[in-house]
Amino acid sequence: MNRNRRLAVALLLCVAAALAVQQLTPAPATTVAALASVSDLPAGKTLSPDDVVTLDVPPALVPGGSFSNKAAVRGMQLAVALRKGQLLSDSQLLGPGLLAGSPAGSAAVPLRMADPASIQLVSPGQLVNVVLTSGSGFEQPAASQVLASAVPVLWTSTRGGKAGQWLAAGGDAEGLIVVAADPEQARRLAGASTLGKLFFVLVGTAPG
């Protein structure tokens, strides 16, 4: 009888220990697949499947517009530099994703600057005023007007490398920048280079 009683007590202790371990052991975390860079990657790089790795990460850490399939990013071009292990999203690639977070109705507007060398001074993310200068200064008086104020630069021909999704294959990217503009700014900027020479002025923060 005593032996049976000791066996029952031992079984109860085992059950209690198992329940305690179950309570203290966290449930397996839910993860989803996401792509990350396998190394530091420069802006303008055209991605291949070897440039990214698939990671299992918690859903809360996955950015909007992320990718889970390596084939989906093949041939796409980075608009910004990536650090090793950084998760990839469409806002880091040339194309509509660069407008993520912009006000509704914003457009990506390509502009050809009158001084291509000046583009070396600007990088994606900087704010610029776009200025149109018309007139020759001789027969016609020179006049300048600001077409768009404090618009963010999305891409430049010097920082982004190939024209990628902004121009057809073989297009001339020299002197080009792409800015994010609201509908009214986009209307003023469209075809502005045919009216005179376009320049940009670096500015600090957006007004207001």
The tens digit of pLDDT for each residue in 143-202 reads: 789 999 999 998 888 755 554 555 544 456 778 889 999 999 999 998 887 888 999 999
Residue with tokens 């860079």: 37
Q: Is the pLDDT of residue 89 over 80?
A: yes
Beta bridge partners, 127, equal 152, 203
- For residue 154, the surrounding DSSP H or E stretch is strand 143-156
Q: Which two tokens stand for residue 109?
A: 């507007």
Domains of the chain, CATH where assigned: 32-93 (3.90.1210.10), 104-203 (no CATH)
Between the CA of residue 119 and those of 152, 178, 182, what are the distances in Å? 14, 11, 22
Between the CA of residue 99 and those of 95, 109, 155, what are the distances in Å? 8, 11, 11
CB crowding 100-114: b at 16 or more within 10 Å, else e = eeeeeebbbbbbbbe
pLDDT score at 39: 93
Residue type, 23: Q
Report how far residue 9's alpha carbon sits from residue 185's, in angstroms, rounded to the nearest whole number: 81
Q: How confident is the model at residue 138 (pLDDT cuts 50, 70, 90)?
A: low
Beta bridge partners, 203, equal 127
How many other CB atoms are there within 10 angstroms of residue 123's CB atom? Answer: 15
- The number of angstroms, rounded, from the C-alpha of 56 to the middle of its chain's C-alpha atoms is 21
The pTM (predicted TM-score) of the whole model is 0.65
Residue with tokens 């993860």: 31
Dihedral Cα 199, 44, 91, 48, nearest 10 deg: 160
- Asked if 74 and 27 count as a contact pair (C-beta separation under 8 A), the reply is no
Report how far residue 204's alpha carbon sits from residue 92's, in angstroms, rounded to the nearest whole number: 22
Q: Which two tokens stand for residue 178?
A: 């792409």
Average pLDDT along the chain: 80
